[in-house]
Structure 1
Amino acid sequence: MAPRTYEKLGPTGAAASTHHLGTSTALTVLARGGNAFDAAVAAGFVLQVVEPHLCGPGGEVPVVFSTAADPRPRVLCGQGVAPAAATIDHYRAEGCTIVPGTGLLAATVPGAWDAWLTLLRDHGTWELADVLAPALGYAAGGFPLVPRIPDTIATVAEHFRTHWPSSAAQWLPDGGIPRRSHRLPVLAATWERLLGEAQGPSREARLDAARAAWSRGFVAEEVDRFCRTPVRDETGQDHAGVLTADDLAGWSATYEDALVVDAGAGWQVAKCGPWSQGPALAQTLRLLDGTDLTYADGIATADTVHVTAEAAKLAFADREAWYGDSAPVPMADLLGEDYTAARRRLIGELACRELRPGAPGGRDPRLAALATDHDRPIGKGTEGPGTGEPTVARLGEGAATGEPAPSEPSLTRQGVARGDTVHIDVVDAAGNMVSATPSGGWLQSSPVIPELGFCLGTRAQMFWLEEGLASSLVPGRRPRTTLSPSLGLRDGEPRVAFGTPGGDQQDQWQLCFLLAHTRAGLDLQAAIDAPAWHTTSFPASFAPRGWEPAGLVVESRLGADTVDELARRGHRVTDAGPWALGRLSAVGRGDDGLLAAAADRRSGVGSAAAL
């Protein structure tokens, strides 16, 4: 057990993120009189520079927030849509059975720039130049490389040299792998040019001009031009993209009401809608309503781990059958009392090995044909499917951390290193609270656009190439993203903003944190530090989309007796090590008015601070 650390407290503001430079940027903005929105946007741009293997300018960002003037949680959707030419027929004609996880075919409209500037325009107070200055300074002057960045570049270096020369030019200076620091001068020049376009009679008008320079100006033109040339992707073939300037011009970030559900003990949780996986946490919490969840010295018991994992399986099976943006989602039925009670009765004493979506409102569930096939690799953080016998496997050092790990050798030959995500939480003294989970545009997933200095995202890999599903590939629709920021409310008042990277595990690790905080009574830092777990017994969102029946990944700090008991109950347990799961961060407001911040210690990169 590592020495106890404590949440950071202060009266003026608090921030936490997956990288210490993101956190320090946010805190500096707060110290200089900016509000939580100014701070979150500034930190978001910094993370695009200092964690380029986890997010980038060509990616996306969903945000859940509340304001000092209105405590009702709202969502800003910065998830771009599928291009107009992204049809199932086109991808099948290109020889694809699933959307490739790398290259240009997986690109959706990049949403982060428009979302961040929309948030800044409507709820911030600073000028774009002031908010962008820290990130611009790091891009132009240099930034330190966390260990995972050189590791990621090394995994795809030969692919860069052979197939993606623009990425080699940016990430392999003088042909070698950067180890200590790096600069992104082309990206800096792009931002400088966007700032030059930010002209107008008011702050709002200047921000809208910068948005237009991206979506209808030189950025859109360069994206369009670059996507016309075929590039190598993980299929081993060269494919051109289908994203055009018209696609960028036709999209902008949008606001919507948050989905709010009761979380027990007087708490509610606010999530994004079913175009994300966020409602899976909502459904899991509903399934656990009335369940006696036990802890011993702040550590979950085997009973608690078992029942939460089984509830998550049911929620994520519903995610697979019902969530998406390509067909109506019966969210009210999925959260309804009768439906939830019937699903709750399916939770038994032994681990279930089946994928069991429900029939909300009497509708028949439908799964993609490949979703029921668990004989493909799962991806990072788990071992492959086994024989079905309860066992305890052990992951290698550093696995399942939420950082990208080198993929299976068969995939790495095509230049694949799975990407991940970052997270930011900020709260200020006025009462503004922000939770954002930026991702996409990973340096390793798509070639750099040489005139812009960044690459496009690959979020379209979450669509299915099968007609009639809620998550089928449909032009103009959003992929069902794993990105899932959260707000926690107590008796209707926003109290905690939290989230984590981790793909399909995001809402499961958030569940571990939330229960430790609200049920076990741990403060924010102790709740983040508490041993975590997640199930892998449902189809993964990322190519190659495999899953492991009864799979359960745990941190060994749960205790040997607990791990053995979970195996006895039929879970195929993988021991990830003592400190391996999640990169959570959180901020909150206490009863005494003090603001708190906490961040994961597992990665050694995240940080939290208050003032």
Structure 2
Amino acid sequence: MSMLERGGNAFDAACTMGFVLQVVEPHLNGPLGDLVALIHPTGEPAPTVLCGQGTAPAGATIDHYRSTGLTLIPGSGLLATVIPGAFDAWLLMLRDHGTLPLRVVLEPAIHYARHGHPMLARTARTIADLAEFFHSEWPSSYATWLPGGQAPEPDALLRNPALADTWEKLLTEAECETGRVAQINAARRAVSQGFIAGSIDRYLRDACVMDATGQRRKGVLSGEDMAGWQARYEPALSTGHDGWTVWKAGPWTQGPMLLQSLDILSGTGIAAMDSTSADFVHTVTETLKLGFADREAYYGDPDFSQIPLQVLLSDPYARTRSALIEPTASLDQRPGAIAGYEAWATAAVTRAKGSSKAMARPEHPSEKRGDTVHLDVIDQWGNMVSATPSGGWLMSSPIVPGLGMALNSRAQMFWLSPGLPGSLMPGARPRTTLTPSMARDPDGTQLAFGTPGGDQQDQWQLIFLLRLIHGGMTLQQAMDAPMFHTAHATASFYPRPAEPGHLIVEPSFSEAVITDLQARGHRLERAEPWSLGRLTAASRSATGLLRAAATPRQMQAYAIGR
């Protein structure tokens, strides 16, 4: 809000939020993580995708990873790392669409890193649980997160002076240039080719650290990899549903799954269903299972694989998928039949059968998976941002000495089998879970929305959107209503488990609804109260009226405006 009140726009505000979140929620995102965003400058006909998803390094080959004894890429450690993308993407947005100087945008993050911020209870618990592992295996992380050998208490101030020093040095170098754009470009070079890339390169030459498999391995990321990559813009994908238009990023994210789900649901009578009823929960869950099956079979980086998007997002294909929804819960993985892609579908089904065995595997100390953050901003001029940063978690990789930041672990979403759209390939993007959204109501209202939550992101977003479109709910009502999701599909995160037929619901659903769902064959799990869904949203009507909402769940999301 302070950026907006200084005269900055939505893009300035989003960048500031992004950098501060890296400091205050280090278990959810970091500077060397990933970013996917939708941006909609005022006056443009449609949003644009900002891709801050880094690619696999040149040395990241299936043969090399298998030679280290891996059959799955672990969820932590150095081989889980792709080229860091978040910082370059934020600065590309700031350069091309923001108005404020880089120093103004970075200063709040520097302040909290230097002087401290109250530690969230969940973050404090995570650090405490990892204290012994950090001490014995990742000493740079131990020094950062347990200063003086003491785990931080909830609400105690935690500082990261090394990160503050890194940003100050970056600003000093950038400000040797004249002009806002030149300074931002210089800062991008400092990360991709300068002292930050150099520190990462030197560290990775010798580092051999413990990962989630319990083995020590060296990484393959190099300074040369970082110098050869930049964030970029892409067209957004879209579909229509009951007069609405919804936009998502491409098949290198899970975003098209939400579009597919809307198309499938158009043939189910969803508009007439009470959005807290068993019929609604069952129909949406069965639709999501079909969308997930296609995600696992057909999604990947379209720069490297011919993704059949024209088929997946076509009305005839949606009708064939809708016809598969039955009165009882499906326990099968059922990707659609697409001519010429039979091998991909077969591989996805085979993987899913093997993935259910991962549930019984004991967890390694470094396997504590992080999560994600999400933000939505609309300014007085109508500029819009929906951004989902993640990765670079404090538990994903050791702190790079001297930088105060950890590398990402997004490579765990690749498969170590060749010939598939999700196969590990140098230069390819992992099929990420990050999936921000934008939509337009028939009355012209523009909406930016999203959520953290890994594989749950497009599930919760779909439920929220359906409640807006068909349920007549406000933004806040659609978030506050009972939530649910399924873990039926193969998970995106190591060790890639699957739970066929799984459905978890909040206890705010009536007992009659829960009993009905069990009778339909769903393998039901009752969630803790107010524990599912972490949505935020902001909208702007055709007359300029701004609205926003944030979930009360976990007490970490806020909607503010003036």
Distance in 1 between residues matched to 2:195 and 2:87, nearest whole Å: 14
Distance in 2 between residues matched to 1:69 and 1:366, nearest whole Å: 45
Q: Match for 2:298: what amino acid?
A: W
Q: Indicate yes or no: 2:279 matched with 1:303.
A: yes
Q: Which residue of the partner structure matches residue 270 of structure 1? A: 247
Q: Could you say what secondary structure the match of 1:227 adopts?
A: helix
Q: Deviations over 1:544-579 (max 9, x none)?
A: 101111111111112111111011000001110331
Q: Could you say what secondary structure the match of 2:559 adopts?
A: strand
Distance in 1 between residues matched to 2:372 and 2:354, nearest whole Å: 26
Q: Which residue of the partner structure matches residue 430 of structure 2? A: 479
Q: Deviations over 1:283-332 (max 9, x none)?
A: 11110014322688x75211011011001100110000000114121111
Q: Which residue of the partner structure matches residue 439 of structure 1? A: 390
Q: Could you say what secondary structure the match of 1:574 adopts?
A: strand
Q: Indicate yes or no: 2:557 matched with 1:576.
A: no
Q: Which has the higher helix share?
A: 2
User: Any conservation in 1 of the 2:444–2:541 contact (CA below 8 Å)?
Assistant: no
Distance in 1 between residues matched to 2:272 and 2:18, nearest whole Å: 36
Q: Please state how far the C-alpha of 1:72 moved relative to its aligned partner.
A: 1.1
Distance in 2 between residues matched to 1:586 and 1:74, nearest whole Å: 18
Q: Deviations over 1:189-244 (max 9, x none)?
A: 00011111214332111111110011010111111111121011111111011000
Q: Please state how far the C-alpha of 1:176 moved relative to its aligned partner.
A: 1.3
Q: Alignment partner for residue 345 of structure 1, among 323, 330, 350?
A: 323
Q: Please state how far the C-alpha of 1:491 moved relative to its aligned partner.
A: 3.8
User: Any conservation in 2 of the 1:435–1:498 contact (CA below 8 Å)?
Assistant: yes
Cα pair distance change 1:300/1:56, threshold 3 Å? same
Distance in 2 between residues matched to 1:40 and 1:316, nearest whole Å: 30
Q: Alignment partner for residue 290 of structure 2, among 293, 300, 314?
A: 314
Q: Match for 1:347: what amino acid?
A: I
Distance in 2 between residues matched to 1:320 and 1:66, nearest whole Å: 29
Q: Which residue of the partner structure matches residue 399 of structure 2? A: 448
Q: Indicate yes or no: 2:439 matched with 1:488.
A: yes
Q: Indicate yes or no: 2:227 matched with 1:246.
A: no
Q: Please state how far the C-alpha of 1:50 moved relative to its aligned partner.
A: 0.4
Q: Please state how far the C-alpha of 1:104 moved relative to its aligned partner.
A: 0.4
Distance in 2 between residues matched to 1:160 and 1:45, nearest whole Å: 25
Distance in 2 between residues matched to 1:86 and 1:118, nearest whole Å: 26
Q: Which residue of the partner structure matches residue 562 of structure 1? A: 513
Distance in 2 between residues matched to 1:204 and 1:465, nearest whole Å: 41
Q: Match for 1:129: what amino acid?
A: R
Distance in 1 between residues matched to 2:253 and 2:124, nearest whole Å: 31
Q: Please state how far the C-alpha of 1:367 moved relative to its aligned partner.
A: 2.2
Q: Which runs of 5+ in 1 are unaligned?
A: 1-26, 379-383, 385-407
User: Map of 1:351-430 to 2, 5 A cutoff?
Assistant: 351-361=329-339, 363-364=341-342, 365-368=345-348, 369-377=350-358, 410-412=362-364, 414-430=365-381
Q: Please state how far the C-alpha of 1:137 moved relative to its aligned partner.
A: 0.5
Distance in 2 between residues matched to 1:455 and 1:93, nearest whole Å: 25
Count of residue pairs brought into register by the alignment: 553
Q: Please state how far the C-alpha of 1:61 moved relative to its aligned partner.
A: 0.5
User: Map of 1:138-217 to 2, 5 A cutoff?
Assistant: 138-179=112-153, 180-198=156-174, 199-217=176-194
Q: Match for 1:336: what amino acid?
A: S
User: Map of 1:283-298 to 2, 5 A cutoff?
Assistant: 283-293=260-270
Q: Alignment partner for residue 236 of structure 1, among 171, 194, 214?
A: 214
Q: Which residue of the partner structure matches residue 78 of structure 1? A: 52
Distance in 1 between residues matched to 2:356 and 2:39, nearest whole Å: 40
Q: Match for 2:251: what amino acid?
A: P
User: Any conservation in 1 of the 2:268–2:322 contact (CA below 8 Å)?
Assistant: no
User: Any conservation in 2 of the 1:419–1:442 contact (CA below 8 Å)?
Assistant: yes
Alpha-carbon RMSD: 1.5
Q: Please state how far the C-alpha of 1:494 moved relative to its aligned partner.
A: 6.0
Distance in 2 between residues matched to 1:444 and 1:466, nearest whole Å: 27
Q: Match for 1:94: what amino acid?
A: T
Distance in 2 between residues matched to 1:360 and 1:494, nearest whole Å: 36
Identity %: 52
TM-score, length-scaled by structure 2: 0.96
User: Any conservation in 2 of the 1:532–1:581 contact (CA below 8 Å)?
Assistant: yes
Q: Please state how far the C-alpha of 1:362 moved relative to its aligned partner.
A: 5.2
Q: Could you say what secondary structure the match of 2:165 adopts?
A: helix
User: Any conservation in 1 of the 2:445–2:541 contact (CA below 8 Å)?
Assistant: no
Q: Please state how far the C-alpha of 1:415 moved relative to its aligned partner.
A: 2.6
User: Any conservation in 1 of the 2:531–2:553 contact (CA below 8 Å)?
Assistant: yes
Q: Please state how far the C-alpha of 1:168 moved relative to its aligned partner.
A: 0.3
Q: Deviations over 1:113-140 (max 9, x none)?
A: 1000000000000110000111110001
Q: Indicate yes or no: 2:13 matched with 1:39.
A: yes
- After superposing the two structures, state which structure 1 stretch, 114-123 or 27-36, moved more: 27-36
Q: Deviations over 1:59-79 (max 9, x none)?
A: 010001211131311100000
Q: Please state how far the C-alpha of 1:359 moved relative to its aligned partner.
A: 2.0
Q: Match for 2:183: what amino acid?
A: R
Q: Which residue of the partner structure matches residue 403 of structure 1? A: none
Distance in 2 between residues matched to 1:444 and 1:438, nearest whole Å: 16
Q: Could you say what secondary structure the match of 1:588 adopts?
A: strand
Q: Could you say what secondary structure the match of 1:438 adopts?
A: strand
Q: Could you say what secondary structure the match of 1:603 adopts?
A: helix
- After superposing the two structures, state which structure 1 stretch, 267-276 or 324-333, moved more: 324-333
User: Any conservation in 1 of the 2:16–2:109 contact (CA below 8 Å)?
Assistant: yes
Q: Which residue of the partner structure matches residue 57 of structure 1? A: 31
Q: Could you say what secondary structure the match of 1:113 adopts?
A: helix
Q: Could you say what secondary structure the match of 1:194 adopts?
A: helix
Q: Which runs of 5+ in 2 are unaligned?
A: none
User: Any conservation in 1 of the 2:267–2:322 contact (CA below 8 Å)?
Assistant: no
Q: Indicate yes or no: 2:256 matched with 1:279.
A: yes
Q: Could you say what secondary structure the match of 1:140 adopts?
A: helix
Q: Match for 1:270: what amino acid?
A: W
Cα pair distance change 1:295/1:153, threshold 3 Å? farther
Q: Match for 1:540: what amino acid?
A: A
Q: Which residue of the partner structure matches residue 110 of structure 1? A: 84
Q: Please state how far the C-alpha of 1:590 moved relative to its aligned partner.
A: 2.8
Q: Which residue of the partner structure matches residue 48 of structure 1? A: 22
Q: Alignment partner for residue 218 of structure 1, among 195, 202, 205?
A: 195
Cα pair distance change 1:543/1:514, threshold 3 Å? same
